[in-house]
C-alpha cells in the first residue's frame, strides 16, 4: 500500500486577503502551482486535496486509519508544512469546538465508540497513551515534563526504537484521552514560555497503543497490538536565515526534518529497485526518524497531510511543501497485522535471549 498523501489548503487569512492573489488552483486531486513569471503551472497529484472543514479531513484521512488500527495495523498521520500553514489546526484544532476540533479528538471518539460496539466476549482491550516533543534533538515528555532528559533506545528484539522512561498512561474513554491532549498542549505552551522558544521549532508525537487480547482456546490467547501515532511536525521552512534564531536550533530542526526527507526519498528509491533488503535507510540519523521508523516501514500504514497556504506571498514554501509531498507519494508500504500467538512471542524471546548469551560468551 502506498503512503497516502493529502494536500490541505487553508483559507487565506485576513492579512493575505488584502493582497488577494493566490498561487494555487485545485483541479480534482491535483494542485496547480504558478508563480507570476512561470509560463506553465506545475501540477502535483495527490490522494486527495482537502479544502473543506475539519470533518471532511477526518472522513478522508482519519476514518480509514482508525479502521486499520482496529484491524491490528500500525497507523500514523503526519502533518507537514511551513509554520502557519495549518498543521496544528489539522491535528488538534480547537479541542472543545464542535466544528473546529481536529483529527485527534475525532479519531479517538470513533475509536472508543468502535471498541464499545465490539460484542466479542472473548476479547479485551487496553489502551496506553504517551505524548512527547522533540526539540533540539532532545525528547521532552509532555505528560511529565519535569522528567530529566529522556533517551531513545533500540529494542534488540523487534529492532524498533523507543523512548526509555516515557510516561505511558492507561485510558478507558475518549474523555481521558482528551485530558491528556489538553495536558500535553498546556505543558508545551508552558515550556515555550519558560524556555523562550516557539512551538514551530519542535515536533510533537502523540502515541496511542491498542492491545487486544483474545482467547483462542483453553490454552492460547492471541495478542494484537497496534499503534496510532499523530505527529505535528516542526515548520518546514528553513530557519537558518531568520532573524533571532540560534544557529544550533536551526541545525537541529533541519537535522530531523532533512533526515525525514532523506528517509522518505531512500524508501522510495529502494522500492523502485525491488525491495528494501540491502538499502540503508538513515533512520538512525535523527531522533524524529528513529521514532517514526515503525510507522514508515514494514507493518505500518501512514499518511502525510501537506498543509499549504494558497497565498502568493507564501509561494516558495508552498512549492517546496508540494514537491516534498509529491516525492513521498512514491513510498510503498507492506502492511502486516501485528498478531502473535503468545507462545510464538515467548519462543522468539527465548531464542533471542539464548543468542545474546552465546554472543556474550564468545566475547
Ligand atoms: P501551524 O501549526 O502549521 O503553524 P496553525 O494550525 O497554528 O499552523 O494555523 C495558523 C492559523 O491559521 C491558526 O489561527 C489556525 O486556526 C488558522 N487555520 C489553519 N488552517 C485553517 C483552516 N483550514 N481553516 C480555518 N483556519 C485555519
Ligand atoms: Mg503548530
Tens digit of pLDDT for each residue in 251-269? Answer: 666 788 889 989 988 887 7
**Residue 338, C-alpha cell as written in the block:** 501485528
Atom of ligand 1 lying closest to residue 82 CA: 3
**Residue 3, C-alpha cell as written in the block:** 503512503
ipTM over 0.90: yes
From 287, 220, 222, 215, select the one nearest 257 (Cα to Cα): 287
pLDDT per residue over 12-44, tens digit each? 988 887 766 888 999 999 999 988 766 778 889
| Residue nearest to ligand 1 atom 18, measured at CA | 86
The pLDDT score that the predictor gives to residue 345 is 56
Is the CB of 83 inside a 6 Å radius of any atom of ligand 1?
yes
Paired sense of beta strands 300-308 and 221-232, if any: unpaired
Is the CB of 11 inside a 6 Å radius of any atom of ligand 1?
yes
Atom of ligand 1 lying closest to residue 200 CA: 4
Listed in order, strand segments (DSSP E) in the chain are 4-9, 24-27, 30-33, 42-45, 48-50, 74-81, 123-135, 138-141, 152-154, 161-163, 169-171, 203-215, 221-232, 300-308, 339-341
H/E element holding 306? strand 300-308
Question: How far is ligand 1, taken at its centre, from the CA of residue 85, in Å?
Answer: 6
Instruction: Say which residue, 343 or 217, is predicted with more confidence.
Output: 217
Q: Is the pLDDT of residue 2 over 60?
A: no
pLDDT per residue over 96-155, tens digit each? 999 999 999 999 999 999 999 988 888 999 999 999 999 989 999 999 988 888 999 998
Question: How far is ligand 1, taken at its centre, from the CA of residue 336, in Å?
Answer: 35
The ligand that comes nearest to the alpha carbon of residue 81 is: 1
**What residue numbers does the annotated binding site for ATP cover?**
81-88
Q: How many residues does the chain have?
A: 363
Amino acid at each position: 500500500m502506498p503512503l497516502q498523501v493529502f494536500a490541505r489548503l487553508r483559507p487565506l487569512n485576513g492579512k493575505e486577503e488584502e493582497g488577494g492573489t493566490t498561487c494555487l488552483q485545485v483541479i480534482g486531486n491535483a494542485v496547480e502551482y504558478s508563480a507570476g513569471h512561470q509560463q506553465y503551472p506545475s501540477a502535483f497529484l495527490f490522494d486527495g486535496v482537502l479544502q473543506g472543514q475539519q470533518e471532511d479531513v477526518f472522513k478522508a484521512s482519519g476514518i480509514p486509519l482508525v479502521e486499520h488500527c482496529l484491524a491490528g495495523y500500525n497507523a500514523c498521520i503526519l502533518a507537514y508544512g511551513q509554520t502557519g500553514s495549518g498543521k496544528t489546526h489539522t491535528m488538534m484544532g480547537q479541542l472543545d469546538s464542535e466544528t473546529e476540533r481536529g483529527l485527534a479528538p475525532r479519531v479517538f471518539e470513533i475509536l472508543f465508540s468502535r471498541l464499545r460496539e465490539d460484542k466479542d466476549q472473548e476479547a479485551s482491550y487496553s489502551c496506553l497513551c504517551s505524548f512527547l516533543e522533540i526539540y533540539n534533538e532532545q525528547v521532552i515528555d509532555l505528560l511529565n515534563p519535569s522528567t530529566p532528559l529522556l533517551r531513545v533506545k533500540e529494542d534488540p528484539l523487534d529492532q524498533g526504537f523507543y523512548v526509555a522512561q516515557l510516561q505511558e498512561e492507561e485510558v478507558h474513554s475518549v474523555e481521558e484521552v482528551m485530558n491528556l491532549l489538553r495536558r500535553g498542549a498546556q505543558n508545551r505552551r508552558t515550556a515555550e514560555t519558560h524556555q523562550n522558544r516557539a512551538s514551530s521549532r519542535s515536533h510533537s508525537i502523540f502515541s496511542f497503543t491498542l492491545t487486544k487480547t483474545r482467547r483462542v482456546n483453553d490454552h492460547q490467547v492471541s495478542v494484537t497490538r497496534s499503534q496510532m501515532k499523530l505527529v505535528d511536525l516542526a515548520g518546514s521552512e528553513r530557519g537558518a536565515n531568520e532573524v533571532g534564531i540560534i544557529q544550533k536550533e536551526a541545525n537541529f530542526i533541519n537535522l530531523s526534518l532533512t533526515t525525514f526527507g532523506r528517509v522518505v526519498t531512500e524508501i522510495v528509491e529502494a522500492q523502485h529497485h525491488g525491495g528494501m533488503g540491502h538499502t540503508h535507510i538513515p533512520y538512525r540519523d535523527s531522533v524524529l526518524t528513529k521514532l517514526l521508523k515503525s510507522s514508515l516501514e514494514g507493518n505500518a500504514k501512514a499518511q502525510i497531510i501537506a498543509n499549504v497556504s494558497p497565498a502568493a506571498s507564501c509561494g516558495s514554501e508552498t512549492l517546496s511543501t508540494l514537491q516534498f509531498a509529491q516525492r513521498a507519494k512514491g513510498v510503498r508500504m507492506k502492511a502486516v497485522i501485528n498478531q502473535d500467538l503468545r507462545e510464538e512471542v515467548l519462543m522468539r524471546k527465548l531464542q533471542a535471549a539464548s543468542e545474546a548469551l552465546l554472543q556474550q560468551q564468545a566475547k
